[in-house]
Every structure is written in structure tokens, then in C-alpha cells.
Amino acid sequence: MEEDLKKTLSKIAMTIRGLSMDAVQKANSGHPGMPMGCAELGAFLYGVLLRHNPKNSKWINRDRMVLSAGHGSMWLYSCLNLSGFKLSLDEIKRFRQLHSATPGHPEYGLTDGVEATTGPLGQGVGNAVGLALGAKILAQKFNRDGFPIFNQKIYCIAGDGCIMEGVSSEASSLAGHLRLNNLVLIYDSNKICLDGNLVECCSEDTKMRYKSYGWDVYDVDGYDFDAMEKVFGEKQEKPTLIILHTVIGKGSPHKAGSSKAHGSPLGAEEVALTKEALGLPKEEFYVPQAVHQYFEHRLGKDAELEAEWNQLYKRWAGKYPDLAVEFEKMHTQFLPQDLEEKLRALEIKAPIAGRAASSAVLQVLGKMLPQIYGGSADLSVSDLTMMKEFPIISPGNFAGRNIKFGVREFGMGTATNGIFLTEMITPYCGTFFTFSDYMRNSIRLAALSHYHVIYQFTHDSIFLGEDGPTHQSIEHLAALRAIPNLHVIRPSDTNEVKMAWIAALRYRGPTAIVLSRQNLPDLSSTKVSYDEGVGRGAYIVYASKGEPDFTLFSTGSELHVAVEAALRLEKIGKKARVVSMPCWALFDKQSDDYKDSVCGGSIGTRVAIEAGSELGWHKYIGIDGIAICMESFGHSAPAEDLAIEFGFNVDAIVERLIASSR
């Protein structure tokens, strides 16, 4: 590398240190150590290596840089500001303040140039694996000889915490298996944790671990630009781990190399001493004119890079018009106008398990919507997530539409988020509902950032039967319903399953479709349009004439039991209304008038019937309402025996309601 360039990169690195120290100190909150330790890396990545255009941060073929060590967010914000993204110095000064574009951990969609929402350690590693897999899928689908429409690389920075978290192991194992040679994981190896020295809690050979996954591994001095240039320029045949040896808080006279630089500001006195030691001006948030000039020049080259790609795309689209149509469909998340009509016309013979009905819908969607890709955590034969007419993605071959994630639920969740972040694919993933616990953190971040991800969770209640309470979901509906922005839909039959998929495809955020293992009958009253039924979140499926004595609210496999109970109540002189309530979140978005028409006024005793925890139901049935729900774990037994044991059969429900009215 030329000496003049190295001098400029050193100035950029010092500027990153200065901005990071000042912002953390001004906020009196944050992590200065990683930004100071990795400042040279930031200068190299944003000053030399990354192929992107900060003036158009959504250029589809840009390189991606994911900061998995999200506590080091000031490193990223400094780099984004200096390199020309829409992140002003005023926002840097508002680090960690209310409604700023510089929150404590990076958030996708909030800050220009942030490629993923990270924070919980290891998440970003999984996101990067998903991004790399998605980029490989797109390259194989769209690239033709002489037309590299997709050839970006995915970079990710992880710290010791990310490497120790189990999710990074799951995701890295998958990346090695699939030979994702467009993925570069940079391990900021400073040997310091928040609690102290790394040796106090970890003594593994990380290099050998990653080699065993099938990765190439390199050691690099984090302050040697020549070494960085050499290693990052190596031809990739496998995913690559670069172990970057750094000093946390580098430059701080009294806190460098210690955990004191990790999770709290250096302190005003130490900041002053550090600036003096580094030869930085005392001025806060100082950016040298030479750094501004360098990046202004770089912005011109970045714009040229995208302009060249735009010309390439134009020639490609002219030569391959059918592919260009597919590209636009995927990029816009195309939904045909007759989607609902076609799904309603789809013949699915009941009784049938919810999981099987969903599988039938998925086969149709796979043919209609080129943007749908997905897979399962080694359960596709049970959760029925396989699109049968498309191949399975395999090592080095990304032409398929089905992904075998292996028994790696958390890794699957983070990778699926990353696949969405390609901004070309609508991903889905499946597993048993009880295993959503393994995925909860990734689901939560998908909800936080409105990732359009679809989860197919099956075996949804005690009625999966003989596998017993270890696999029977009790609290999971309540737990997922508690996550803001997540739509949880529990359909009752084939009609609601079809509409659940429409809801999931229309919603620009994550959706969990929760499905039964056991066969369920169809109800004629659920065979209504999306706007009259599932799209409302709740709707009346049965009503006696006159004012009801009981209103039964139910979901999923218990809805047909609720209808049968209403019919039985009528025979003994009690009027009943039955409300299907597949999605609380959608119902809560309806007008007050509509909500009143479903569950307002004098509707008798309100009753919830659902084979899960009652938590949350009293919002709809009131404090005096009756919750026929699970109050314990289940048992290992056939489903019909469990229905009797826990009171989910018609006789038990009617008896309990009549007793309550005496």
C-alpha cells in the first residue's frame, strides 16, 4: 500500500477514535473500547475496501458490513458519517439520546447505512450468514456470462462475546457447510470481556474451531494496513475468518487493554489525556479537512461504481427480459391481484392438519411468487415446509428454493433475518412451536425492525399428543403475542390457513402462523373473504338469534369445539355467539365500531377457549370472563384423552358454562 494512503488512513483512524470517545463521553453512556481498538479497521473498510455508494445506501449490489458487536456502535456511526452516508455530525453528538439516529445499538431502517439490527451478541453473525446465502441465491438465479449482476461480499465484525454465544456457532457451521465464499467474518480479538480478561472464561482454540467448520482462517495485526490489504485481497474459496488482533481502548493511557474501556465512558480527564497521547486536538468532534477531502473523492468513485453497474443491469435486462421481470417481482415483493381468488379456489380436502393445509398453500405460493424461499430446522417432514417442485440448496449450488438449516433453530432465525436483508427475498422458516423459544431473540429483532419474515410453527398445543409436555406448547402463544409488531395467527381450518398466508404476505413485518399437528374439520362460516374474516383479526362465525347468554372466543383447533358447544347450549335454551380470533394484533387495529360489533355491548358471559395459557385473554373477556385454557403443563397421551383430561371437549365446556350461570 502506498505510504500516502497509509498516512491518510491513519488520520481517518484517529478521527474515528476521537469521534467515538467524544460521543460516548457526551452521552455519559456507551462502549468506547471497541471503536478505539478497531479504528484502523474502520479506516480500511470504509476508506478502501467496501464496494458501495453512500449517496445511495440501497444500491442492491453493494457490499454489506454488519456490526455484530453492536455495543461498538460508535465505530459504525463514525465510519458512516465520515464516508458520506446520511448521518450528520449533529446526530453523532446526539448519541444514545431520545429519537436520535444514533441509538445505543444499530437499528436497521433507523440509520442510513446500518445493514442489520444488532445488539444481542452473535445475532449479527447469523444475519451475515443469511445475507451471504441470499447473495449466493441471487447470483445463481440472475447472473449470466459477462453479467455479474450480484457479486457483493458480506463483511461482519464480531467480538469475543459474539464468538462465545452459541448462535454464532450454529450460523458459522451452516456457512461452512454451504461453502459461502462471499462471507468474511472479522473477529476483533482483544482478549477482553465486559467482566475482565477473556482467559477467565474462555480458553478454546477459535482458529481450529472455525477450520473444523470448513472455513479459511487468517491472523492479522489490527494496525498493519499492508497486512489487511493482503489478507482481504486473498481469493476466497470458503467462508473466511480473519482474527484481527487489537487492543481495546487503544490510545487510552490508563484504560487501554482492560475491561475498563469496555462498557463505560473513559471519563473527561482520560479523554483529554488520550487525545494528548494520540496527538489529537482538544476540540470535541474534530474532523480534519484532509479526511473530508479524501472521502469526497472516494464518493465520486463510489457513484461511478454504481453507475457502471446500472449500465450493466440495463444491458442485462435487454438481453434477458424474462429474468428482468423476475428481478422486479422479487425486488418489489410482488403479489398478484388474484392471489386471494386463487387460494380460495385451491381445493384442500378436510379434515386435515393445519400444517398439511399450510403445506398445500405453500406449494401454490412457490409457483406464483418467485421471492419466496425457506426451510426448516431438520423438521420439513413434520412441519411440512418443503416446496416440492423446487430443489434443495446444497454446498456450492444455490439454484434451489428449499433450505435445510439443520438442527439450528436460533441460527435459522438469525439467518432468515439476514436473507430478508438482501431486500429481494421473502423468507420463511419452520419448526415445532415449542422450539420458537430457541428463536425468540431473532424473532424479537425481526419485529423491532419490521423484517418481512414468515414463521411456520406446527405442533401447536397439547394436542400434538404422545410426545408429551416437553414438546407441548403452553405459554408460547402468550409469549409471542407479547412482542410488538409481530402478527401471531392461529388459523382454525383450511379456509383460515389460506387467509393467514395472505395476511403474512401483505404485512411488511414478521408473522408467525401457528398450526396444528392433528386433523381439523372445515367450518362453512370461515369460508369468507380476507377482508371479512382473518384480515379483521376476529369475526363472528356463529350466532344464535337474539342477545347471547355466552360469547365464546376461540382460535385454532378449539374453534370447531366452540361452535359445537354453542350448538349444544342452544339445545338447552342458552343463546351463544362464537368469535374466531385468529390474530389479536390485526383485531386491535380495527375501528372501534367494528370491535364493538364483534365483542361490544350486551353479549353475555365472555369465554375464551384456547389450549394455551390464559395470559392476555382477559383483555377481551374481562376480569370476570371465563378462560377455558391451560393452567399447567400437559401429559404424554393421545390427543383425545388430553381433551378430556383438560376440559377441551364439548361436554366439559358446556358443563362448566352452565355451572357458571347458576
As annotated, the active-site residues are 409
C-alpha cell at 16: 474515528
What are the Cα distances from residue 160, in Å, to 169, 201, 219, 506, 605?
13, 11, 15, 39, 56
CB 452 within 8 Å of CB 418:
no
How many CB atoms lie under 10 A from the CB of residue 146? 9
328/271 Cα distance (integer angstroms)? 50
C-alpha cell at 644: 378430556
Distance of CA 82 to the CA centre of its chain: 28
104/164 Cα distance (integer angstroms)? 21
Output the DSSP codes for 495-508.
HHHHHHHHHHHHSS
Q: Specify the residue for cell string 487489537.
A: 246
CB 185 within 8 Å of CB 125:
yes
Reference 445, options 373, 515, 509, 514; nearest CA is: 509
C-alpha cell at 138: 441471487
497/515 Cα distance (integer angstroms)? 8
Write down the number of H helices and E strands in the chain: 26, 20
CB 49 within 8 Å of CB 79:
no
C-alpha cell at 416: 432468515
Interaxial angle between packed helices 123-142 and 166-178, expressed in degrees from 0 to 180 and rounded to the nearest 10: 20
DSSP E strand stretches across 133-274: 154-158, 183-189, 192-193, 196-197, 216-221, 240-245
Q: Is the dihedral of CA 51, 55, 58, 64 positive or negative?
A: positive
Reference 25, options 282, 266, 263; nearest CA is: 266
Q: Specify the residue for cell string 446465502.
A: 133
The count of residues in the chain is 662
Q: Which residues pair with 426 in a beta bridge?
A: 372
